[in-house]
Structure formats: C-alpha cells, structure tokens
Structure 1
C-alpha cells in the first residue's frame, strides 16, 4: 500500500496546526505535543496525552483515494480500551502487538463506533485474541445486514467500561454520518473520540451514502452540550483539535443538506 503525496502533505500540515492548537491552550495539562511513537506502512500510532493515543490506518477507496482512518487508544495502569479497529486484520494485529509488547498492556476491549469498514475492518484480529468487542445494537444489526464482521456485545444507548482505575464511556446521541454512530469519551483527560460523526477543520462532507444530514447538526449539538469543557476532539479522519471541530461540524450540516 502506498501513501499518496497529497495525503502525506495534508497530514504534515494538519499535524503542525494541531501542535499550534495544543501549545496555545495552557489549560490542557494532560495533553502533550503529539509524538509519533510507532510507524509502519499500514499503521501510525501517535501519543496525544499521558494515557491517550491516536491510531491511524489506511483504507483504499474508489471515490476518495487512500483515506487515513483514526481510532483512539485509552490506557490506564496495565489495561487498554480501543475505540475502533484499524481498517484490516493485518494492521489490527500490528496494533494489538504494539500494545502488548511495547506498552506492556492487556487489551481489555474494543468498541466500534459504527458499522463501516474503516471502523470494524480489523475486528477478526481482535476476536482471534479473544478480546471482547462492543457496539451499539444498531451497529450490530447493520454489520450483519451488510455482511461485515459483527461485534460480540451489544448496548443500546450508553456503555461504561473500566480501564485500570479509570473509566471510558461510549454513548449514542443520534444519527449523523450513519444511523448508528456513537462517540467515545475519556473523562479523566476530557478527550472525545468523535469518529466519523465529527469532521476535522476545513473538511468537506465526505461520504453521505448512509448519512442523515437532517439530524447530523442536532446530534453534534447534543454532544457539545454533554461535554462543554472537552480538552481534545478526535475526528474519524484527519487531525484532532479543540471543540472547534464540534462547531465546524454543526455549521457544515446546519441546513440539513
């Protein structure tokens, strides 16, 4: 798999912007200057805070070319919870191995944020290692319908899991990118994983084949109300940033088109 130069230059420029955003906000005591701690042809892992990492893998698409796809790793003590698999089993195996042998942690669970391939394409690798997988019941229904690998454990509206002596939260706020999309939240560091429901700054609307554009802004407004002081927001594609990503996404779909 080869990276397109367009994606490489875009990633570099967005990373520099992210460093600037982090550096300009002294209140983010837990957030660090992002550091790439692992990189291969198929997987990049970036440290975002003391206990939070970004994993980025790549999906080859007909309409958008080679697309970088994000997930979140939350660590506490010797345990890890992951939001979204990588895009395939090979890179998910890389991710699992890095966590086990470099971080020295046990992967307690993986939570998929919606039914698309960029979020659960590597689920079989997690099942091979007997790692529990969780998803909104709507995600499980849609994954079965579309013939994708299916997470094992279902929840309806919200899920709270322990990771070490902290917790992570997964919650459904309504439709947007898909009918089933959820977000992940790490309260102790006030970091939100928005998945494909949340857009990076200056992004276009992207793939809308399963979207509910009428409700999208309303869903994100509910998220903003729930997490008013969020330190960092991670989108499904592109560069993390401040709560401006929530405002940008709301405005992008404000008129339901």
Structure 2
C-alpha cells in the first residue's frame, strides 16, 4: 500500500528537478584579431539563458572594455570572470570600461569594475539612468559624439539617437573597422526585437540609418546579443523594425 505515496514522492521530486534553472554558461572570449576580442557572458531573459556581447580592446597602455559582463546588483560573477580572464591571458591592467546604455547586461558589473580600480565611463544620461536602476553611476564624461585615444588606439563613442533605449551609444574602432552596436543593433540570427520595454520604436529606424551613414565601411558589426558579422546586422535590424511595426498596427 506504500506504492502510491512513493510514486507521488518520485513524481514530486522529478517535477522539482525539472523546474531548477540550468547552470549559467561561463564566460567565452573570442578573438576578432590580435587586438580586439568579443567577451560573451550570459544572463536570463524570459527564463532563457541569453548571451551578451562586449569588447576587449588591447592597447599599448592597457585594456579598454566595452560593457561589463551581464550581472545583477546581487551577483557580479560574470564581470569578475572577465577581469580574471584579462589578467590571466593578456597580462595588462584594465584602464577603462565604456558602458553603452543603462541595462543590467551593460552596467550590471560596475561595482565589480570599481572594486578592481577600473574607471567606468558613459554619457550623462546613462549615468543618471544607472542610478535610477540601483547601480553605481559611471563617470558621465562622454559627449554624444567623441573620439579619444588610449595607447595609440582611437575609439569613437557615438549617440545615433534613441532606439533600444533613449541613451544607447555605439562604439567604433576606425583602425579595425569594427563597430560595437550593443543592443541597439540586432544580430542577423535574431527573429524578433527582444526587450523593447524602454525602446523608442518610432525613432529607432532613423537612428539605425545614421549609423549606416557613419559606419557603413564596417568590416565587423558586433550586436549586443547572439552572433556577429558584417554590416548585414544593420539592415537586418531595419527589417525587424519594419516587421514589428506591421505586426503592431
């Protein structure tokens, strides 16, 4: 007569096991050339593990990061892994981290960066929005369009207009012809617009067109999520915006 209770217990334990989230994938670093790498960390969106891309830029005066790892206020392990990878593999100090907008997949690791003595910079609007979300404020030193040089490597930070968020910027490496589009640019593998909670869907098209005008010579475009490649990502983003608009008329 104990069979039914035992079966019930087994079913309960099986169901409990199935509801446990899968282990979060570890940091992945992929070289684009011998000076620029993509760092990919993972976060959870709508119960799925999603990859998030940033850049590691090697200069003669140290490392520049574009975006932190995808972290939260309570867990900064991704950014900790990122800093450890740089220390172990590139053996240079991280001089700076540029954050491209105020979402946790870009600014979540600011506290970890600060703890390691890394300077974190952004536009004034991103700094304000970071504080409202409960994260540390980056230094609000970036104008809407500026180029600066670290270790003889020019880096351009450009605000194209509102899109994924009101504060999204892109980062351009002219020597490499590499564009980091962040979440403003969708991967060619994306089927939808993803998180549009803070998006300006009406202006996003115009903003993408400005990026195409400014950086149409890009050899590689790195979107905020999923796979990267050439400038087809920009055109693909326009197509996704058009489909999204048609579906929501």
- TM-score normalised by the chain length of structure 2: 0.83
Distance 1:42 1:123 in 2: 19
Distance 1:83 1:64 in 2: 26
Alignment check: 8 A CA contact 1:214 1:255 kept? no
Distance 1:64 1:111 in 2: 28
The counterpart of 1:56, out of the listed 36, 40, 51, is: 40
Alignment of 1:156-175 (within 5 A): 156-175=143-162
Alignment check: 8 A CA contact 1:157 1:172 kept? yes
Alignment check: 8 A CA contact 1:136 1:157 kept? yes
The counterpart of 2:234, out of the listed 238, 246, 250, is: 246
Q: How far did residue 129 of structure 1 move?
A: 1.5
Distance 1:50 1:115 in 2: 29
Q: How far did residue 154 of structure 1 move?
A: 2.8
Q: How far did residue 235 of structure 1 move?
A: 0.4
Quote the RMSD (CA, aligned, Å): 1.7
Partner of 2:62: 79
Q: How far did residue 233 of structure 1 move?
A: 0.2
The counterpart of 1:137, out of the listed 120, 124, 136, is: 124
Alignment of 1:204-219 (within 5 A): 204-219=192-207
The counterpart of 1:152, out of the listed 139, 143, 160, is: 139
Partner of 1:66: 49
Distance 2:114 2:222 in 1: 25
Q: Which stretch shifts more, 148-157 or 208-217?
A: 148-157
Q: How far did residue 48 of structure 1 move?
A: 1.2
Alignment check: 8 A CA contact 1:215 1:256 kept? no
Structure index of larger Rg: 2
What do the CA deviations read for 1:86-128 (whole angstroms, capped 9, x no partner)?
Answer: 0122121221122123111121100110000011111111101
Alignment check: 8 A CA contact 1:171 1:182 kept? yes
Secondary structure at the residue paired with 1:253? Answer: helix
Alignment of 1:113-128 (within 5 A): 113-128=100-115
Q: How far did residue 143 of structure 1 move?
A: 1.2
Secondary structure at the residue paired with 2:126? Answer: helix
Q: How far did residue 42 of structure 1 move?
A: 2.4
